[in-house]
Amino acid sequence: MLKNNFKIAWRNLTNNKVYSTINIMGLAAGMAVALLIGLWVSYQYSFDKYLPNYGQSYQVRRNFNSNGDTLTFSSTSLKLADALRNNYPEIEYVAESDGGREHGLMVGNTKLLLTGKQAGADFFKIFSFPFIEGNADGLKDPYSIILTESSAKALFGSKSAMNQMVKVDNKNNLKVTGIIKDLPANSSLALSYVIPFSYFEIVDPGVKAARKQSFGSNGFELFAKLKNGIKYSQLAPKIKNMEKYEDNLNAKNSDVIMQPIQDWHLYNTYINGKASGGFIEYVRIFSIIGILVLMIACINFINLTTARSEKRAREVGIRKAIGSQRKQLILQFLTESVLVTFVAFLFAVVIVQLALPSFNTLAGTAIFLPYTNAWFWVITLGCTFITAIVAGSRPAFYLSSFNPVQVLKGTIQTARGASLSRKALVIIQFSCSIVLIISTVIIYQQIQHAKNRPTGYATNRLVTSTTNDDINANAAAIKHALLQSGAVASITTSSSPATGVYWHSDVDNFPGKNAGETVEMGMIAVSEDYFKTLGMQLKEGHDFIGNAKADSANVILNEAGVKRLRLTNPVGQTITEFGRKMNIIGVVKDALMDSPFQAADPSLFFFDGGSNIIYRLSPGMNTHEAIEKVSAVFSTYSPASPFTYRFVDDDYNQKFNLELLVGKLAGIFAGLAIFISCLGLFGLAAYVAEQRTKEIGVRKVLGATVAQVWLLLSKDFVLLVVISCVIASPIALYFLQNWLNKYTYRITIGPGVFIISAVAAITITLLTISYQAIKAAIANPIKSLRSE
């Protein structure tokens, strides 16, 4: 029986090529979107799951109470590392680490500047990356290094890197004691090598001293692995208050927490001390979009199938008259739905396979169709079957309900019974499509709003390079040579790049301070000409004079810092940071060093310098020529390290990457939703024109013009789209306003976006149905009336 059902289904599929094609195209597009989003969502949830200790690995963080606001930081102290390692038997391993930075690696004439970590000896016992050679004990010797497979090949070529020597930062030779596989794209950690933290303590006396300092001496990352069978809920209350007994303001106001590795990627935003948002919000949004687009495709199938009910009413009547039961007819129509849906699924797989390279480039992912994975086929085919049942149930139950006597007498009125439901479904699918259109416009406006925001400094031709010991030792000579070359107009150094604030600390005393109050602020060490080089404007007071001794106790605040400290007439006043008194000599206008969507970070600038050298290329010299001259100077004074540089405007534009990605994907999916909806409209318009052929013929004989016939067939569809606009607008407003509320600097949603979206939707609708309407209007009325 099932075989016979499929034969009938295939015959109906091939006999109604236009409607079958529209159904298959709509379902294929909807299923392709759903499949692509499903792969993307699965990829986002797959982060770090390749690690064997995925469920027991954590990063140590601290919640800091800043005057009632709970701020969460990943920077912790080495004293905390030792306390966790020695005092809590629930913890199996602890590894301290720097934040990850670039180091110069040299083998012979091969020089590379790569990003890696300096981490504790148990780092690879917490993160069980697969070793090609060596093992997790490879960091026990301070003068060792573990490389990734690609960095080993880059340094040593085809010969084995094991037990070979790598010179780091032109200082010491480190022995290669292990080679790990390259970290996959779905890894939260990104590194090319790991150097023992014990080596870090040897070459930097300040790091070794930090281990003996207080819990408040933060500046390091900590990772921990709990013993098997231990749950974090058992440990959390024990470590929460471990810092509070120390007589240190930073420690007294801090709670120790841990974040599981499984939350790193998706829950990267902390609110009131809890991981409560982040990238997961976008995963949920696109999951909903995938479901909506697939639902729109299913609505097309339902509408077109029920719309053609009169064509199949006689078939139903005859089959019932000869003894077919309703359940047999339902099975027949569901079989047709399954056949159409599975054909559409095959097309969807082809579409996704063709789209994946471009999608991966756009989204920065490494998604692929896992053809050899049995679970992939179980899930996708299962979802396809569910889609077939959902799309085919309404037509199956509707068509099988016809009364055979009425059908065979020609007295059944199928169109009226299905008309309202069809219109309701059209309204639903266009409402969803219009919500996506409005969302795309709002996201674009928000991005442009932030891009047009004054940055507070000039990013054009501003360049950043990372310093090293050779560069620091020859800083004065390099600065002189760069200025003399004519390639550089101004040069300075800083502890943070122009587009970020790497260090925060507490101002513990200031005029007007309340009892127990602390203020967390960004701390930026700068050298002379910092504000000149970046183009930041002093609002009050004066700049540093450029003398380390004279400027050692002087600081400059930005406007946000003055506001945070509630200072009036700040120049000349004294504040204290960790017991160190500092004189405010100036106030600089706010600059957007962190998020362009948020308020400027309250910051304090002090005279010291840092690991970022920032310079502005001369306006009169070609950029390529200027970079070549700068490269020559750096290579002269730092021959062991490759010259690298980043344009600040590129770094700044990267801050929009996530919003741009969301906007582009929303635009693509909105376009596909409209395309699928218009396919349905095209089919319905063809059906209506076919049903009203004789009416149109009579009207034309009586003198109706092409325009009048076009209006007759178009007005009902346009009315449905107008209703959809009315429904979609408040829904979009509600969700988009909630989305915008997470940005301090945001647009105000005005009526214009809803008007533009409505006009676009109506225009697209008219273009879609006009072909069928005009085709019917210009047809020869004699042909349609010949049978009368």
Model pLDDT for residues 247-303, shown as the tens digit of each residue: 666 677 788 999 999 899 999 888 888 888 888 989 998 999 999 898 888 888 777
- Residue 391 pLDDT > 90: no
Bridge partners for 73 per DSSP: 62
Which residues lie closer than 8 Å to 496 by C-beta, 6 or more apart?
Answer: 502, 503, 522, 524, 593, 610, 612
Bridge partners for 604 per DSSP: 523, 557
Question: β-pairing, 274-277 with 646-647?
Answer: unpaired
Query: pLDDT tens digits, residue range 682-738?
Result: 777 776 776 666 777 777 677 777 778 778 778 888 898 999 999 999 999 999 999
Between 272 and 616, residue with greater pLDDT? 616
Reduced to 3 states (helix: H, G, I; strand: E, B; else coil), residue 474 is coil
- What confidence score (pLDDT) does residue 164 get? 95
Reduced to 3 states (helix: H, G, I; strand: E, B; else coil), residue 616 is strand
- Alpha carbon distance 253, 163 (integer Å): 47
Which residues lie closer than 8 Å to 634 by C-beta, 6 or more apart?
Answer: 465, 471, 478, 643
CB of 588 closer than 8 Å to CB of 605: yes
The torsion of the CA quartet 47, 51, 56, 57, rounded to 10 degrees, works out to -70
Q: How confident is the model at residue 580 (pLDDT cuts 50, 70, 90)?
A: confident
CB of 714 closer than 8 Å to CB of 723: no
- What confidence score (pLDDT) does residue 549 get? 80
- What confidence score (pLDDT) does residue 608 get? 87
Give percent above pLDDT 90 in the chain. Answer: 45
- Alpha carbon distance 261, 627 (integer Å): 41
Q: How confident is the model at residue 4 (pLDDT cuts 50, 70, 90)?
A: low
| Mean pLDDT lowest among 52-56, 278-282, 390-394 | 390-394
- Residue 584 pLDDT > 90: yes
The answer to whether the Cα torsion of 222, 226, 227, 233 is positive or negative is positive
- What confidence score (pLDDT) does residue 191 get? 93
Between 319 and 582, residue with greater pLDDT? 582
- Residue 324 pLDDT > 70: no
For residues 670-689, give the mean pLDDT.
Answer: 81
Query: pLDDT tens digits, residue range 161-183?
Result: 999 999 998 889 999 999 999 99
Between 548 and 98, residue with greater pLDDT? 98
| Mean pLDDT lowest among 275-289, 510-524, 560-574, 619-633 | 510-524
> Residue for token digits 């606001």?
69
- What confidence score (pLDDT) does residue 677 get? 86
DSSP 506: E
The count of residues in the chain is 788
Residue 610 C-alpha from the chain's centroid: 31
- Residue 409 pLDDT > 60: no
- What confidence score (pLDDT) does residue 325 get? 66
Give percent above pLDDT 70 in the chain. Answer: 88
780-783: long-range pairs with CB below 8 Å, 24+: 781/696, 781/697, 781/698, 781/700, 781/701, 782/697, 783/697
Mean of the per-residue pLDDT values for the chain?
Answer: 85
For residues 189-213, give the mean pLDDT.
Answer: 90
Per-residue exposure over 705-739, b if at least 16 CB sit within 10 Å of its own CB, e if not:
eeeebbebbbeebeebbbbbbebbbeebbebbeeb
- What confidence score (pLDDT) does residue 532 get? 94
Q: How confident is the model at residue 784 (pLDDT cuts 50, 70, 90)?
A: low
In degrees and rounded to multiples of 5, residue 400 shows phi and psi of -75, -5
- What confidence score (pLDDT) does residue 406 get? 57
Could you give the angle at which helices 374-399 and 280-307 cross, rounded to 10 degrees? 40
- Alpha carbon distance 144, 164 (integer Å): 10
- What confidence score (pLDDT) does residue 778 get? 73
- What confidence score (pLDDT) does residue 168 get? 93
- What confidence score (pLDDT) does residue 579 get? 73
- Alpha carbon distance 181, 412 (integer Å): 70
Bridge partners for 584 per DSSP: 555
Question: β-pairing, 554-558 with 101-107?
Answer: unpaired
String of DSSP letters for 24-72: HHHHHHHHHHHHHHHHHHHHHHTTTTTSTTTTTEEEEEEEEEETTEEEE
Distances from the Cα of 64 to the Cα of 39, 71, 271, angstroms? 38, 5, 12
Prediction pTM value: 0.85
- What confidence score (pLDDT) does residue 418 get? 56
Query: pLDDT tens digits, residue range 496-520?
Result: 899 988 888 888 788 888 877 778 8
The answer to whether the Cα torsion of 654, 660, 665, 668 is positive or negative is negative
Q: How confident is the model at residue 404 (pLDDT cuts 50, 70, 90)?
A: low
Closest to 518 (Cα-Cα) out of 527, 526, 506: 506
Backbone conformation region of residue 529, classed left if phi is above 0, alpha if psi is from -120 to 50, else beta = left
- Residue 98 pLDDT > 80: yes
Q: How confident is the model at residue 232 (pLDDT cuts 50, 70, 90)?
A: very high
Bridge partners for 462 per DSSP: 616
Which residues lie closer than 8 Å to 434 by C-beta, 6 or more apart?
Answer: 724, 725, 728, 729, 732, 757, 758, 761
Q: How confident is the model at residue 315 (pLDDT cuts 50, 70, 90)?
A: low
- What confidence score (pLDDT) does residue 318 get? 62
